[in-house]
Amino acid sequence: MQQQRINLILITAISIGVVATAYAANSLSVGNTATITAAAPNLFMLTGVASTTACSASTGTYTETGLTISWGSVVQGSTANQYVCLENTGGQHTLTVTNNLPAADGTLTATIGGNPATGQIIGHNAFALIKFTWVVDPGATPSTVSFGISVS
């Protein structure tokens, strides 16, 4: 009888230990550390769109190479505009737009929604309509000109 009581106590203790052990395993905590870095921008462009375009994935075929803008004929002293759609499939990014139009041929600006494009943020999977405005210098030499515009 005494032995049976001892066995019962042992079995009970072992059972409590098993349960306690199982419970502890369910409560394990793991410390996690990571460094999140900004994703690089992935820019694509669609040239030759209309001023009223609501840029989206369905606007046309975006590309990152072979981009050409044909301004046609512009008149000394006039203002000419061209529009492009920009897509960013990468991380959020602050835009910078530069050009190498010769100063003698005028000034070229880039705007998004009426504000300078440079400094504006384009988010992940976002689209933007960029307006390029060329104020042709009244003294620009009548000729054929080529120049570049970079968007980064």
Partner 1 sequence: MRVRVLLPISLLLLAISAYGAPTLSTSNHATILRGDVSWNRFAECRPTILTLEQVLGNQTNSQGGALESGGWQGMIPDKRSTSPPCGVNGLPTLVEIRHLHTSLGTPGTSWDECDAVIADNCDLTLNLGDDPTLSCPACYSHKIHVEIDMYWNASRTAPMMIPVGTWVDVQGFVYWDPDHVTDQGHSYSGWELHPFTAWRISGTTNTTVPLGVTICPGTVRPVSSGVSQCSTTPTFTRYY
Shortest distance, CB of residue 74 to partner 1, whole angstroms?
Answer: 5
Kindly tell me which of 35 and 65 has the beta carbon lying closer to partner 1: 65
Q: Are the C-beta atoms of residues 146 and 101 closer than 8 Å to each other?
A: no
Shortest distance, CB of residue 114 to partner 1, whole angstroms?
Answer: 21
Q: What are phi and psi of 39, to 5 degrees?
A: -75, 145
Round to whole Å and give the CA distance between 100 and 149. 7
Kindly tell me which of 112 and 136 has the beta carbon lying closer to partner 1: 136
Binding string, 7-46, against partner 1, x = CB under 8 A? Answer: ---------------------------------xxxxxx-
Question: Concatenated DSSP letters for 29-42?
Answer: ---------PPPP-
Kindly tell me which of 29 and 52 has the beta carbon lying closer to partner 1: 52
Rounded to 5 degrees, what angle do the CA atoms 96, 97, 103 make? 135
Residues within window 74-113 making contact with partner 1, judged by CB under 8 A = 74-78, 80, 84, 86-90, 99, 101, 105
Shortest distance, CB of residue 86 to partner 1, whole angstroms?
Answer: 8
Kindly tell me which of 17 and 148 has the beta carbon lying closer to partner 1: 148
Round to whole Å and give the CA distance between 75 and 137. 9
Element (H, E) at 134: strand 126-136
Question: Would you tell me how many other CB atoms lie within 10 Å of the CB of residue 131?
Answer: 16
**Interface residues with partner 1 (CB under 8 A)?**
40-45, 47, 64-65, 67-78, 80, 84, 86-90, 99, 101, 105, 134, 136, 138, 140-152
